[in-house]
Structure 1
Amino acid sequence: MGLGDKMENAAQKASGTAKEKLGDATDNRDLQAEGTADKASADAKQAGEKVKDAAKNFTDGR
């Protein structure tokens, strides 16, 4: 996974966490849900990148 991808995923996850906490503080369920979705999306992207990295490392080791 490239550094840019890692930074983008971390920023999306941080943004999701902030939205979720702000939604909690203001009792805004829509904002809470949006934050949760952002975090889940960032986690899924990160997992996909890790799979690609593992596959690349496997093929490079042959």
Structure 2
Amino acid sequence: FWGAGQVLAIFFGRTPMSMGADPVPADRVNVVGRVVGDAATLRQAMNASTIRVERIEQGSSIG
């Protein structure tokens, strides 16, 4: 969660601040979860007006 922007930022892939393959936020963020599965599919939702985010209990299987 990015408090300054009051938004949930979902990082996948490199960012302008990245030195390697991992994304690096440009500002402080609170990590509230992780992407399970292929994050590249999020590219299809980049212009969506809403995205549903669900909580998965630790140890639960998905899919």
TM-score between both structures, scaled by the size of structure 1: 0.27
Pair member with larger Rg:
1
- Higher relative contact order, structure no. (Cα contacts within 8 Å, ≥ 6 residues apart): 1
